[in-house]
Amino acid sequence: MFLSNDSKMDNKTHISEFMLLDFSEILELPVLYFLLFLVLYLLAISGNLLIISAVALDHHLHTPMYFFLMNLAMFDLASISVIIPKSMANFLMNTRRISYSGCMAQILFFVFFVGSDFFLLTVMAYDRYAAICNPLQYEIVMNRQACLQMVASVWIIGLFYGVIHASGTFAGPFCFNNVNQFYCDIPNLLKLLCSDWYLVELGVLISSISIVFGCFIFVIVTYVQIFSAVLRIPSVQGRQKAFSTCLPHLGVFSTFVFGGCIAYLRPTSNTPSALDVAFTVIYSTAPPILNPVIYSMRNKDIKVALSKILGLKNNSKNAFSTLLQ
């Protein structure tokens, strides 16, 4: 049944909440979904809390690289906490509802933390460039005040990023309230807007893509120069040490970018499918889970700090290090 323009506008005034994806339409096993989300959330929480604790408590890790890593873990922890607990609560209470303000808050904070994540990864690329391509000036360029200013700028820009996207998405009236996703995401919400209001957020998205593409090009150019400098290092040990500090960041950045491309550059369907949900779950949970693992695998300083936090002795420490390798 189609609604006229007047009916659509009348319908908009009654929308005070949204209905999230009904998982029973895909698979009638809500308990399995709850357990899956619980495991993923616990993995992300424990991994990122360990990284934050290791950097905060070990004075050997009080360097710009690990300071940025601690903030990255904070963003990852926050981004997954914006969407997963609400989904688990809905599973337990057998409901799909989320309030209008709750949906807006999800958009605001998820974009805020994910955007900050991306901007911080860009800053971290510059940090590696300064350390490897200009080592003699590194301590001057990346001093304490500069690092604090960079991180503060990331938080401020990320918040602004979230505000403009939330404002653009909710600028117009909504005619429908069925969101074909397990949390409020921009592409599915834009389909629910009346008339051409979606063009407001579309303009914001185009501007955002330009900024993101600029950061992406900056990181690529930066790493071309980094790898050129690393290959000129005469000693094999020196090259290995340089690569060990760059490859984790490059792995995290690649996971973030490719996950975002898979999630948002593919066309969205009008009917939910298991594949759509799987892509979204992977994009929203994989970076917060994998980032601590990637940074711990080949980083001896992180492994030693984590061993101290977990109270592992020599034998246990060796086993822990072997596990991460």
pLDDT tens for each residue of 272-306:
666 777 778 888 888 899 888 888 776 778 888 88
Does residue 316 carry a pLDDT above 80? no
**Bridge partners for 174 per DSSP:** 193
Residue 53 CB neighbour total at 10 angstroms? 17
Across all residues in the chain, what is the average pLDDT? Answer: 82
Residue 141 CB neighbour total at 10 angstroms? 14
One of 1.20.1070.10, 3.20.20.70, 1.10.357.10, 2.70.150.10 is the CATH number of 11-290, namely 1.20.1070.10
- How does pLDDT run across 163-215, given as a tens digit for each residue? 998 988 888 888 888 888 889 988 888 888 887 766 777 777 787 788 888 88
Q: Take residue 213 and report the two structure tokens written for it.
A: 């593409």
Q: What is the pLDDT of residue 128?
A: 92
Does residue 318 carry a pLDDT above 60? no
Q: What is the pLDDT of residue 247?
A: 83
Q: Where are the domains of the chain?
A: 11-290
**Bridge partners for 178 per DSSP:** 19
Highest mean pLDDT among 96-110, 249-263, 274-288: 96-110
pTM: 0.85
Task: List the alpha helices (DSSP H) in 94-142.
Answer: 100-133, 138-141
In 3D space, the residue among 245, 222, 220, 257 whose CA is nearest the CA of residue 66 turns out to be 245
* Residue 244 · residue 128 · CB < 8 Å: no
More confident residue, 278 or 159: 159
Residue 316 CB neighbour total at 10 angstroms? 12
More confident residue, 249 or 267: 249
Q: pLDDT band for 242, please (50, 70, 90 cuts).
A: confident
Residue identified by tokens 């404002």 is: 167
Residues whose CB falls within 8 Å of the CB of residue 276, separated by 6 or more in sequence, listed in order? 180, 181, 268, 269
Q: What is the pLDDT of residue 285?
A: 87
In 3D space, the residue among 92, 87, 70, 118 whose CA is nearest the CA of residue 21 turns out to be 87
Which run of H or E residues covers position 29?
A: none
* Residue 175 · residue 194 · CB < 8 Å: yes
- Residues 62, 154: Cα–Cα separation, whole Å: 19
Decide: helix, strand or coil at residue 18.
strand
Residues in the chain: 325
Q: Take residue 133 and report the two structure tokens written for it.
A: 């391509």
